[in-house]
Amino acid sequence: MLSTNSLCYNFSFHICGKPETDPSFSAPIANITVPVGREAIMTCIVHDLASFKVAFLRVDTQTILTIQSTVITKNHRIGITHTENRIWQLRIKDVRESDRGWYMCQINTDPMKSQVGYLDVVEIK
């Protein structure tokens, strides 16, 4: 006879036979303005992430930048930090004017959940 524990699998739609609560965003991503050469930090706060994953994308180029703690892009200026799978921060070092634009934080639910924030880059004279 199989025990309940031996049948316990972790899928995105349930954990051990119990419906998993869909994650949600706790706050919108703030639009930020950063001077050229500084570090930009886009913060995405997620509630009840569970087994779902967070990704950051550059909207205009549809480039995947990060998935969870892994940096996907080959751009060495891009980094990702997180606190307790709740506060996710996309970090762009040495910001350039070409970094200006919309960035998306995405959760891989079905349907996918996302929100965007705008990075404005200014020249300090």
Q: What is the mean pLDDT of the chain?
A: 88
For 45-79, the pLDDT digits (tens) are 999 999 999 999 999 999 999 999 999 999 999 99
In angstroms, the CA 120 to CA 70 distance is 25
In a domain, 60, yes or no: yes
Query: What CATH number should be reported for the domain holding residue 99?
Result: 2.60.40.10
Count of domains forming the chain: 1
How would residue 20 be classed by pLDDT, with cut points 50, 70 and 90? low
Whether 52 maps to a domain, the answer reads: yes
Residue 2 lies in a domain: no
| Residue 70 belongs to some domain of the structure | yes
Percentage of residues in the chain having pLDDT higher than 90: 81
Residue 2 has pLDDT above 80, yes or no: no
Identity at 110, one-letter amino acid code: D
The parent domain of residue 39 ranges over 24-122
Secondary structure of residue 25 in the 3-state scheme: strand
Eight-class DSSP state of 1: -
pTM for this prediction: 0.83
Residues 23-44, mean pLDDT to the nearest whole number: 97
Distances (CA, A) of 111 to 29, 64, 79, 108, 122: 20, 18, 26, 8, 36
